[in-house]
Structure 1
């Protein structure tokens, strides 16, 4: 069976990590499949949103420890460098990305969830950065994403202590958007993905990339970026139709909260 299942439902692409017997640990074939899928999505403008989830009762246990036969520093660096191209593309993808997390999201699995714009978790989800337990450092862009989500002090706590947190604590830290019973995860994720897929692709993509740049930029740079991106947004058909609908008191194109 394929390590990654791909389904496209009216422009909403669901990527399902498919090693439930190994808690969807990321072996080399799954990593290669995720790379190919992310790169394909990046170039496919018919894709309006992406859902990332795990098969069975877990999101992902992270890297496949059984396959970590790294002989020297160069091999270790190359192992991670092979990930960085598609991880960066996922973090910066100009379409909504929603992670549906059930069970464990450990290590690189936690990092993958952090690469999403929103995380919907079940009440039995568990998150952990266990790298200290095996003498490693966080990977899959966690040094970038985790401090931006929870702040530097909480990022240090989660990384240095390797503690497991439940869905409620993850929500209180800003990692998780919604916590739902397991049987409602698919429906809630579909509702959020569907609502976000209805947003202006230009406005969403421009806003996401500006936000990703904001913490490393100064005020003047962000104001210039704001002006340039707003100029593009003003020119879109979506904006013109949205304004006309407002004038006509018609239903808006984009609606939130997700039903």
Structure 2
């Protein structure tokens, strides 16, 4: 059966990550994902798609799953986490409110129905569950290169991918009662195809973080599922009240007055 073009494009993104530019992106993503997921606690975590990125390697939850739309021939080889569930991104085979963490690395921009993928991610997350989204930033040099590639036919990334801006993504998350906790931008070097030129522009990482922090080629958005009308309650501590001074019974006062 022929796969849809959007599914083919995210599959094509996997080999691209082995190119010099892809390795540059993958190294930055891995470092930030390790930092973000290391302190997220719970029982069940899931990474959807793109097995070339091990988004959950630093997380310490007892149950971690990697899912995709198909099982590759080298599943689990080369030190990569094996795919344990195969499914359509728009229909997650997990019960509602069953997961503590969901990671979407470059899934939305290559999904045929990105809104539906987000709705499914929100559905399977428990209240206060956390969602991490990785994407290419259209407001960057890489975004301009992708746009130019559509006009000239010289594509830098798989052509079916549609870059989703952070403001637009925040609007989608807000409609789902997902509160954005933090965001990270990185990969400020121009879209070079050789390691030599990427190395020459390495100085732009520090400069970009300082002078144009929202123009990085890659972003990571971290959101938390909020449930209206729900408030987490901590442990109830017994509070000792100060004992009121005991007064003299009225009968005793009356008797004392009578004896005088």
Structure number with higher helix proportion: 1
User: Which TM class, normalised by the smaller chain length?
Assistant: under 0.3
Structure with max Cα Rg: 2
The alignment's TM-score, normalised by the length of structure 1, stands at 0.27
Question: TM-score scaled to structure 2, two decimals?
Answer: 0.27
